């Protein structure tokens, strides 16, 4: 027990230094900027390199060029990779030449059309930010919340119901109320596994997986029964939400950038403040680092688990709510393209830090947005992007591979990511 308490004291001193120290003053305990970004950055670079290899391997034009001559084959490789990544870039960020010409013309319509690919990437990134924060907060509490997808669906269903069933409310009340309903639905769905872990020791991974199945079947029943849109012909789709419940878009279609993206940034800042600038966040991180030592020190481990899972679920519910209120305007079974499961990768690549989650979410949003154009322009399968994301995650989860490939110095133990040090209990 003395050894556990000593570990807790050392961890607490480091965390207290982080929480009390003025911004911008580095300490020996803080990781250098390079140590923080090296593994994710090199993992992304490696993913792009392997993606290029896969693009070449799946291109029939490359094989045809090699049948003529070796030189033509090499030229075809360069052309194929350049065309694919150019399409990915312009489809997700925009064509720089087109943007410059549009700005030079001063035509608002041309400017909006030129920057729309980047704005659409931010739209795609918005649910990723909420879902990534949900997983990251769980990891900080020592919990692996693999139930984000189910919590997202429940949050979306709650936001949808409040959005269309309540009528006559002004926007200033109705929209926040529907958004809050999404958070509460997700919080309830996350709280249940947290309660089971606190009271019975039931593992959150198993419980959240089972809760996912329940959420999927429950929402399927709701959309096929009580929440079915009148006249839908039996299609599992909800009524369109009231205009007063919709999160406003800044421009007319096809530009879909909306207020929800900036709400997501504000929520990310709030989670950062809670985790790193409050006593509650300090206690949560201590519990996540070593629950046994935290228990010996008098911290309520069970309460941290329940509250951590509830807040994580609320963030996942907001991911579902923002898609309904800002983008889809109604709920269907195809609501999510795997946001909840992709969020695990987001949290890991972002080092379980809110800023890292934001940056990685924008990366995933741009990849998703640009993948369609890449498929149209270069006939590259859209699944290549999924493979690239999986490769990036694999290298982030196994940093020793990246260190070996790029001959990086192994950092000290305390410089490892929160995931590497262990979820669901840390050291024992």
**Residue 258 β-bridge partners:** 249
In this structure, of 47-56, 272-281, 413-422, the range with the lowest mean pLDDT score is: 413-422
Average pLDDT over the chain, rounded to whole? 86
Contact 44, 363 (CB under 8 A): yes
CB-side neighbour CA atoms (13 Å) of 411: 20
Q: Residue 284's pLDDT is what? A: 94
Q: Residues of the chain with pLDDT > 70: what percent?
A: 87
Q: Residue 183's pLDDT is what? A: 98
258 φ, ψ to 5°? -140, 170
Q: Residue 381's pLDDT is what? A: 79
Spatial distance between the Cα atoms of 165 and 229, rounded to a whole number of angstroms? 12
Q: Residue 35's pLDDT is what? A: 65
Residue 138 to residues 16, 67, 81, 110: CA-CA distances in angstroms?
20, 53, 38, 43
In this structure, of 272-281, 285-294, 357-366, 406-415, the range with the lowest mean pLDDT score is: 406-415
**Residue 237 β-bridge partners:** 332
- Report residue 3 as tokens: 């050894």
pLDDT tens-place string over residues 126-180? 999 999 999 999 999 999 999 999 999 999 999 999 999 999 999 999 999 999 9
**Cβ contacts of 360 within 8 Å, gap of 6 or more:** 40, 128, 132, 345, 346, 349, 350
Q: Residue 383's pLDDT is what? A: 82
**Cβ contacts of 329 within 8 Å, gap of 6 or more:** 240, 241, 246
Q: Residue 415's pLDDT is what? A: 44
Q: Residue 10's pLDDT is what? A: 57
Mean pLDDT highest for which of 4-8, 69-73, 149-153? 149-153
**Mean pLDDT over residues 55-63, rounded?**
88
Q: Residue 6's pLDDT is what? A: 56
- Report residue 94 as tokens: 């925009």
pLDDT tens-place string over residues 379-395? 777 788 888 878 887 88
Mean pLDDT highest for which of 71-75, 92-96, 268-272, 409-413? 268-272
Mean pLDDT highest for which of 27-41, 271-285, 331-345? 271-285
- Report residue 187 as tokens: 């919080």
Question: pLDDT-derived band of residue 304, with 50, 70 and 90 as boundaries?
Answer: very high
Three-state SS at 14: helix
């Amino acid at each position: 027990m003395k050894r556990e308490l000593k570990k807790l004291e050392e961890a607490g001193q480091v965390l207290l230094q982080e929480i009390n120290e003025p911004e911008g003053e580095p300490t020996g305990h803080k990781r250098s900027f390079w140590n923080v970004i090296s593994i994710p950055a090199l993992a992304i670079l490696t993913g792009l390199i392997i993606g290029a290899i896969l693009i070449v391997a799946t291109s029939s034009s490359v094989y045809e060029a090699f049948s003529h001559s070796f030189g033509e084959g090499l030229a075809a490789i360069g052309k194929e990779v350049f065309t694919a990544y150019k399409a990915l870039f312009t489809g997700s960020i925009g064509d720089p030449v087109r943007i410059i010409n549009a700005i030079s013309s001063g035509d608002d319509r041309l400017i909006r059309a030129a920057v729309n690919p980047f704005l659409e990437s931010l739209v795609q990134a918005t649910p990723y930010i909420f879902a990534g924060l949900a997983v990251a907060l769980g990891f900080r509490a020592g919990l692996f919340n693999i139930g984000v997808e189910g919590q997202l669906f429940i949050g979306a269903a709650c936001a949808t119901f409040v959005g269309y069933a309540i009528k006559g409310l002004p926007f200033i009340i109705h929209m926040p109320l529907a958004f809050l309903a999404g958070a509460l639905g997700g919080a309830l769905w996350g709280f249940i596994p947290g309660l089971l872990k606190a009271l019975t020791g039931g593992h959150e991974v198993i419980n959240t997986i089972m809760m996912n199945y329940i959420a999927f079947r429950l929402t399927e029943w709701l959309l096929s029964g009580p929440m079915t849109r009148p006249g839908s012909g039996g299609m599992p789709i909800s009524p369109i939400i009231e205009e007063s419940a919709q999160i406003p878009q800044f421009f007319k279609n096809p530009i879909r950038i909306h207020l929800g993206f900036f709400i997501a940034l504000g929520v990310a800042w709030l989670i950062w403040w809670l985790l790193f600038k409050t006593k509650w966040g300090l206690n949560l991180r201590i519990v996540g680092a070593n629950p046994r030592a935290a228990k010996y020190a008098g911290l309520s481990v069970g309460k941290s688990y329940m509250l951590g899972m509830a807040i994580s679920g609320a963030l996942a519910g907001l991911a579902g709510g923002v898609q309904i209120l800002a983008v889809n305007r109604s709920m269907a079974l195809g609501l999510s393209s795997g946001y909840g499961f992709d969020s695990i990768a987001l949290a890991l690549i972002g080092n379980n830090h809110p800023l890292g989650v934001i940056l990685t979410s924008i990366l995933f949003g741009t990849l998703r947005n640009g993948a369609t154009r890449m498929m149209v322009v270069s006939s590259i399968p859209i699944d290549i992007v999924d493979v690239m994301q999986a490769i990036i995650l694999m290298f982030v989860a196994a940093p020793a591979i990246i260190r070996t490939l790029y001959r990086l110095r192994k950092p000290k133990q305390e410089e490892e990511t929160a995931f590497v040090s262990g979820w669901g209990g840390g050291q024992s």
